[in-house]
Amino acid sequence: MNPKQGPWLDALGYCDGLIDTGISRIPPARYVSKRPRYQGSIETLKRLLKYGRAMFKEIARKSQIQNAKHIVSDDDPTIVTAILDWQSTSIEPAFWHADAAPDFAQPVRPFRYCYRTWEHGAFAFREELIQTAELWKKLGFEGQCPFPTPDSSDGLAAHQKEYKLLEEAQQPKHSLSKLLNTASDGWAPLENWEAIESARRELFEGLLREVVGNEQPDNDEPIRYERDLREIWPFDLKE
C-alpha cells in the first residue's frame, strides 16, 4: 500500500492518509526479526490501525467540529456572523507565539501515534484508542464507539501492564541521553565514545543489581528479570 501524500480535500481524507501511512510502514513478516514485546506484533498493529480508521472516520464526520474562533451562518458556512476573541484579528497577537506552536495547534494524540505505530509500537496507540473510547459519549459522539475496549478487568490489566512496559522502555533512552549529553539514538562524539560507553555499561550493571536484588517485586512491575532489562535497554551491550 502506498501512503497517501495529499493534498487532502477534507478531514476524512487526511485521516485515511494517516492510517494508510501507518500500514505502509509495516514490513512483510518474513523480513522482520524478533521485536521487543513492548512494540507489539504485526497482527496487533494491523488490527489497531483498522479500528483507528473506523474511529477517525466518526471523528472526521462530526459536524460540530468547527473553528473555535468564529461562528458561521447556518444557511451559508462561508459567511462569518461573529468572531470570538476579537483582539486576535489585529496584527500584533499573531506574533506573540511566532516561535512556538500552541497546544491547540498540535494534532491530538491518537492522530500523532497512528502513522508511527511501527516505530513506537502498538501499545501507545492502543492506550489512546482506549481513552477515546471511554470518553466517547462525553465527547458528544452518538452510537457505539468503533473501538471495543477490553471487555474484562483482566484484559484491561493486561493492557496496562504492556503499556507500563512501553513507558519503562522509553525512560532509559531519554534519561541516559540527557545524563550523558548524547543523542537519543546513541550517537556520541568519537573522542568521547570510550568514556560514554563505559558509563553506559556501569549504569546498566547498577540497574541490573537493583532488578536482581529485588526478590519481591510488585505484581505490576514490568522489569522483573535480567532479560526484561536487556529487552528495554536502548543501546548495544558488549558481552
191-220 pLDDT, tens digit per residue, is 888 898 899 899 999 989 988 888 887 777
Burial of 129 (0-12, 13-18, 19+ CB in 10 A): buried
Diameter of the chain measured on Cα atoms: 71
Closest CA to 115 of 195, 192, 222, 26: 26
Q: What is the mean pLDDT of residues 31-39?
A: 81
Grid coordinates representing 124 are 501507545
What are the residues facing 71 on neighbouring strands? 82
Domain ranges (residues) in the chain: 1-65+108-149, 153-239
- Return d(Cα 187, Cα 223) in angstroms, integer: 26
pLDDT at 87: 57
Question: What was the pLDDT predicted at 20?
Answer: 92
Which pLDDT band, with edges at 50, 70 and 90, does 112 fall under?
confident
Q: Other CB atoms closer than 10 Å to residue 34's CB: what's the count?
A: 5
Which pLDDT score is estimated for 53?
94
According to the model, what pLDDT value does residue 67 have? Answer: 46
pTM given for the model: 0.69
Range from 4-18, 53-67, 186-200, 213-227 carrying the lowest mean pLDDT: 53-67
For all residues of the chain together, what is the average pLDDT?
Answer: 81
pLDDT per residue over 57-111, tens digit each?
Answer: 888 776 444 445 667 778 877 777 776 665 555 555 555 555 566 565 666 778 8
